[in-house]
Structure 1
């Protein structure tokens, strides 16, 4: 089977913390003939994968650098601090960055929060990954700030998390190469945006009719008679002569090219 004969396939990348199951289910129900392949990728590598055409589209974390990728922001996540269950912070519902001033706060190399300056005291070394940082928090040597979805992803029984009220937040977006906005990409955008099966992606229902060449038929509007009126050609047939013999239906008038009506009586 040649490449042109191969069945179409939609490749969807997603970064840790994003759960695409809902959109995948809708896609499978709506486009059963087009398989959807999920591609797990780290946040740092997601945009590179899209640029290399390793996926048709992907759920990424903003910001997206460069102008060659389109992005539709979807939602903003709550930022939380991950702590051991016996930590003093576990006794409250939420904290501020100021409350972490005396704490060692890990800032992993794959951090997804855009800090100007991370709160707390920096660790001697930055963990390579968020997973590594979670292990260090469990060892009781520091705390970790992450989007809530990552705290859930790396859940441990000996750890908990609390909302960090004044921290930057991570935003999730759907992104794809701008010069590769295919019909399948547009279909998936419709799934994510909640378009129904009957929604039209292209021409509106009230768009002008098309001619045989596929272009809008400009003459269609001219040929369609206005409500309550007839065209001149129709008038010539239906009302060309009034009961007094005048052409055009005007009382006592003379029709263009027709017979003269009854002359008026002079006073």
Structure 2
């Protein structure tokens, strides 16, 4: 497959507009159209349905989009690893989610391998596994659930989840609350991340007010909680790491604990990755 044509295809599939995709790719629209037609001829399949008002993916196009993303990510990962190898430097890059401390296992790894260059990549819910597929990280400490396709995921530990509240909130200071106590609140997480709250949430009932987006970064959530614009559900370690005087946390007793794991691309056969995984899961 011609990776350049695949990149062009993904741009059009994500924009669903040839003009915007051409601008994003910094090429002329007629050139982009010709490349897409050439790709369709190679695959012997129509990828888009176009008229004057819209561009839509066909079933073949949707399948190609699903398969193209990991293929392009793998190609980018290969490029990164070859570039590092060409420098002659032994490196290990670790992704990690907010609130997770990785100092001790990394220190042990560097003590065992003098001269090893270690780098860290702070991740979010959106890219905690993406950094593995595109080669930015060799391993990643992730908060489950994640899409396990193409990955080895090894459990590390679990921890309670807590509700982050303004210090003036009616529930602040309680030893524990239940999910039902939070049914009237506005949740700043994506609802799918806390299905137990989603099942009882007043704002999601038929006829309720339109819901605003969930916030991915802990900093955004804390700012909105402090302003009285909602609450957030986070792992205990995150709430303890990101402290501030205008918010507090309360354990949610009937929420299952959050799971933390180490993940890496299953096809990788790196001795350093396996050694690090053993260190953090021991």
Distance 1:91 1:146 in 2: 17
**Does 2:269 match 1:181?**
yes
- Matched ranges for 1:2-151 at <5 A: 3-4=85-86, 6-108=88-190, 113-115=193-195, 117-118=197-198, 119-122=200-203, 124-129=211-216, 130-151=218-239
Q: 1:44 to 1:2 in 2, by over 3 A?
A: closer
Contact 2:98 2:123 in 1 (8 A): yes
TM-score, structure 1 normalization: 0.65
Contact 1:115 1:168 in 2 (8 A): no
Distance 1:51 1:140 in 2: 38
Distance 1:141 1:186 in 2: 44
TM-score, structure 2 normalization: 0.61
Contact 1:85 1:158 in 2 (8 A): yes
Query: Which structure has greater helix proportion?
Result: 2
Contact 1:68 1:179 in 2 (8 A): yes
**Does 2:259 match 1:171?**
yes
- Structure 2: stretches of 5+ with no match in the other structure: 1-82, 204-209
List structure 1 segments (4+ residues) > 4 angstroms apart after TM superposition. none
Aligned pair count reads 192
* Aligned residue among 234, 240, 246 for 1:152: 240
Secondary structure of 1:180's aligned partner: coil
- Matched ranges for 1:204-223 at <5 A: none
- Structure 1: stretches of 5+ with no match in the other structure: 195-267
Distance 1:87 1:116 in 2: 21
Secondary structure of 1:43's aligned partner: coil
Contact 1:108 1:133 in 2 (8 A): no
- Matched ranges for 1:208-247 at <5 A: none
Contact 2:144 2:260 in 1 (8 A): yes
Q: 1:2 to 1:164 in 2, by over 3 A?
A: closer
Distance 1:168 1:137 in 2: 22
Distance 1:185 1:4 in 2: 20
Distance 1:114 1:144 in 2: 10
Distance 2:84 2:104 in 1: 33
Contact 2:182 2:197 in 1 (8 A): no
The residue that corresponds to 2:41 in the other structure is none
The residue that corresponds to 1:224 in the other structure is none
Structural RMSD (CA): 2.4
The residue that corresponds to 1:259 in the other structure is none
